[in-house]
Amino acid sequence: AQKVTQAQTEISVVEKEDVTLDCVYETRDTTYYLFWYKQPPSGELVFLIRRNSFDEQNEISGRYSWNFQKSTSSFNFTITASQVVDSAVYFCALSEWNFNKFYFGSGTKLNVKP
Amino acid sequence: NAGVTQTPKFQVLKTGQSMTLQCAQDMNHNSMYWYRQDPGMGLRLIYYSASEGTTDKGEVPNGYNVSRLNKREFSLRLESAAPSQTSVYFCASSEGFGGRGGNQPQHFGDGTRLSIL
């Protein structure tokens, strides 16, 4: 079974719109970690955020915010007032404490048009 | 800061040829990983090394072998390349140690684009 699902394959928005990228995960562990990575057109993978399963507090970093809800097994990522530079593929990932392995979703490609 | 360095950046092989992809990290990380990225499939784990001297299979290990040469270096070998192995390969490292290290983010190299004809 797929452990991380990113159902949105591709999203297109116009600059300054808000956009939310969905991530749903599956695990039986009580201790786990969730991550978001950004892959711009240049191809490198950039770490954005890490959350652990015991901390459901939402986090905001500038225009980025993350909503972690254990009840729905979701870890969604919102970009406020999107910019062209936000155009990238965004990956959600899960790691389970006991296994030191990471499971990535298939990614969501975000296109921000001027 | 070099971080994770992968060589080569691009390579074209013929079916049946062998090749080793090199990866080195200078962050003193314990764990290292090899992924392949294919369109629409995200990153899939090929092999990982939770600590120096250990290696384990990931999701798609068939057709590959790995060597954790030392703490810094983790190589991926294709013994007999096949067109299905055409992909972008990423090496990553993290501070995680042994079997319990999933709390640490991974740091990625820039990738190797491999085409097999």
| Higher pLDDT pick, B53 / A109 | A109
Beta-carbon contacts of residue A28 (< 8 Å; ≥ 6 apart): none
User: Using a CB-CB distance cutoff of 8 angstroms, which residues of chain B are in contact with residue A10?
Assistant: none
Nearest C-alpha neighbor of B77 from the set B94, B61, B53, B93: B61
- pLDDT for A102: 82
Average pLDDT, chain B: 90
Q: What is the pLDDT of residues B69-114, one digit of tens each?
A: 899 999 999 999 999 999 999 999 988 765 555 677 889 999 999 9
Per-residue pLDDT at B19 exceeds 90: yes
B42 in contact with chain A, both atoms CB, cutoff 8 A? yes
Instruction: Enumerate the residues of chain B whose CB falls inside 8 A of the CB of residue A95.
Output: 102-103
- A43:B88 CB<8 A: yes
Percent of chain B predicted with pLDDT > 70: 92
Asked if residue B65 has pLDDT above 90, the reply is: yes
Question: Peptide bond preceding B8: is omega within 30 degrees of 0, i.e. cis?
Answer: yes
| Alpha carbons A50 and B95: distance in angstroms, whole number | 14
* Per-residue pLDDT, A1: 54
Distance in angstroms (rounded) separating the CA atoms of residues B100 and B59: 18
Any idea which of A46-60, B14-28, B93-107 has the lowest mean pLDDT? B93-107
Both structure tokens of B75: 């190589």
Return the pLDDT at B102: 60
CB–CB of A44/B111 below 8 Å? Answer: yes
| Cα dist from B10 to A44, A61, A66, B34, whole Å | 14, 35, 35, 16
Chain B CB contacts of A104 below 8 Å? 35, 42-44
Q: Dig out the tokens for B62 from the structure.
A: 């068939």
Place of tokens 């992909």: B87
* CB-based contact, B39 to chain A, within 8 Å: no
pLDDT in tens, A62-97: 999 999 999 999 999 999 999 999 999 999 999 876
Q: Would you say A36 and A48 are in contact if contact means Cβ atoms under 8 Å apart? A: yes
Whole-number pLDDT of residue B86 = 97
